[in-house]
Chain A
Amino acid sequence: MVFPAPAIAFLLLTMLFPVAFTLYMSVQRWEFSALDPPTFIGLRNYADFLFNDARFWPSVARTFAFTLLAVAVETVLGVAIALIFNREFLGKGLIRTIFLFPMVATPVAIALVWATMFDPNLGVLNYFVEELGLPPVLWTSDADWVLPALALVDIWEWTPFITLITLAGLSSLPSEPYEAARIDGASPRQILWDLTLPMLRPTIVVAVLFRAIDALKTFDIIQVITQGGADFSSETLNIYAFQNAFNYYHLGYASAILVFFFMLVMGVSILLLRVRRAAE
């Protein structure tokens, strides 16, 4: 019982210390100056971003818009692809392997490739758009298009995650209800909507939970492709907190935003876990 103690102590320290430290910093004012030590200012940081910061609430809205768009499309596409792949066919193993690549490939590298594809003049995406007879798009340079464009990258990266989890869920479904349905003469469409999807719901909710947590915290692709532009229109809460901490060195203010951010992600997680309990 004694020998794992140091490891567990370290684990607790690395996980709990940042929580305590962020809470402590969130009630201080500190611009990372050696001459001016942190000063206690109570809840003023919180009041400032809640009521006096023109960049705060828009970034919250963008965080939710990005997450909703990305995770909704990933869920629909991911589940649909899993249902199509849910059979034995030649090459299934190879497809599973290929589907791992977008998730594990270095996000910075992937973001760079997408950045070249988004180029309004030379990018391959506008070539496809024009081939389809549509007018070219400014993609990440356009305030209206930048969030959907970034969501597209996230969808490309993470749809396979939903697919693979759904496939695992499909393979563990019991076969008896299907036999009963077939005897009752249910149509394939009825079987899908009234049998498969309801039984899959707990699996899908878990996949959505993990995706939602990560999508809310998306950093790499946004930082690489737009750094919050065009004109702040892709500045999500995580990017804004990062700017405050490491570009402006408002460490106290950034910490207060991070406490809010943590509670927001926690709130979404609890909400989704409730949905899951209701589904079971």
Chain B
Amino acid sequence: MSTGTAVATGRRSVAAARARPGFGGLARRVAFYALVIVILLPFLFVFYWMIINSFKTLVDAQAWPPKFWGFTPTLANYRALFQDPANPFLDFTINSLVIATGATLLGLILGLPAAYSIARYKQNGLGLVILTARIMPGISFLVPLYIIFSRLGMIDTYSSLIISHLIVTMPIIVWLMVGFFEDLPRELEEAARVDGASMFGTFWRISLPLSKAGIVASAILAFIFSWNNFMFSLVLTSVNTKTLPVAVFNFMGYSSINYGAISAAAALITLPVIVLVLFVQRHIVQGLTAGGIKG
């Protein structure tokens, strides 16, 4: 019920503030912004804590009471990440980049024509297939992949990881792009067909260039999902292709008390995602409902 009253007073406060910008309106506006900050605080704190701890020495990271500010920052945790030969962070970053880029490109090559044909020819059955994939536990994909890749001696290779990550990237690309292709004006395509363009020519020269914004958005989202993927990489990688999430997960095992080092690793993985998100804000929620395989 506190919700109801909060909303009610909030709504009145805005109206009141517009009507008479006196002291009462100002006070209510301050109260509203205070409420907004209280709501945001827990969401921001976790990121703040990750970043602040990544600049702490071992002693500062273990201080009690915890140090929220006012310590001498150090870059030692980041330096250690890239200088520890037993834990080649740069290699893990390259692995993550290669796999996410490969799975995104291949996802586009396979996903764009599929999305186009679903959008143009109303193949509702395929929508159902994607929905089923949404419900399927990720392990159901992983068991057959693991058996096949083991038989072929492909465990811990880029190819097997890129193929497995396709299961993460393709549904997002198809789901988002069906919407984009459906919104394209059909007249342009029909005109191209009348002028003698082939089906593929129309798709390649008319529809794709018109959907550039959608392609970029779905590619970035697909990249993020692949970059974040943990379960598939956990099972299918070993020393050669270990991705960042798996490396950091293992990392926790032998530095369980060094919170500074753990936080630095966590910050390094998260930073590229946060930057990429800024470019595709409008499409994130839709992409998340497509959902990819989360577990």
Contact = CB atoms under 8 A, between A and B. Distances in A.
Contact of B129 (A16, A110, A122, A127): A16
Range of interface residues on chain A? 35 or more
Given A161-B285, A188-B7, A218-B295, A18 B245 contact: no
B191 interface: no
A112 B288 CA distance: 22
Interface stretch (B69-77, B108-116, B182-190, B208-216): B108-116
Nearest to B221: A104
Interface in B139-159: 139-144, 146-147, 150
Contacts of B147: 32, 251
A95 B37 CA distance: 10
B270 A105 contact: yes
Given A87-B10, A109-B248, A217 B129 contact: no
Interface string B64-98: 11100000000000000000000000000000000
Contacts of B231: 219-220, 223, 242
Given A108-B245, A156-B43, A217-B137, A19 B6 contact: no
A265 B235 CA distance: 23
A128 to B, nearest CB: 9
Contacts of A18: 136, 140-141, 143-144
Nearest to B3: A80
B interface, size bucket: 35 or more
B231 to A, nearest CB: 5
B274 A101 contact: yes
Contact of B235 (A32, A76, A246): A246
A110 to B, nearest CB: 7
Given A91-B36, A115-B252, A192 B4 contact: yes
Contact of B126 (A11, A119, A255): A11
Max chain A CB contacts within 10 Å: which of B8, B49, B139, B174? Answer: B139
B199 A21 contact: no
B288 A161 contact: yes
Interface string A235-261: 000100110011000010011001001
B248 A113 contact: no
Contact of B135 (A87, A95, A161, A269): A269
Contacts of B230: 107-108, 219-220, 223-224
A217 B230 CA distance: 13
B10 A84 contact: yes
Contacts of A217: 137-138, 294-295
B43 A101 contact: yes
A220 B295 contact: yes
Nearest to B142: A245
Given A11-B111, A15-B133, A255-B140, 5 more contacts: A11-B129, A101-B274, A108-B249, A210-B288, A238-B139
Interface of A: 1-4, 6-8, 10-12, 14-19, 21-22, 25, 32, 76, 80-81, 83-85, 87, 89, 91, 95-110, 112-117, 119, 122, 124, 127, 156, 160-161, 164-165, 168, 187-189, 192-193, 210, 213-214, 217-220, 223-224, 238, 241-242, 245-246, 251, 254-255, 258, 261-262, 265-266, 269
13 contacts: A11-B114, A11-B170, A18-B143, A25-B143, A108-B245, A108-B269, A110-B270, A112-B249, A116-B259, A156-B42, A161-B285, A217-B137, A251-B147
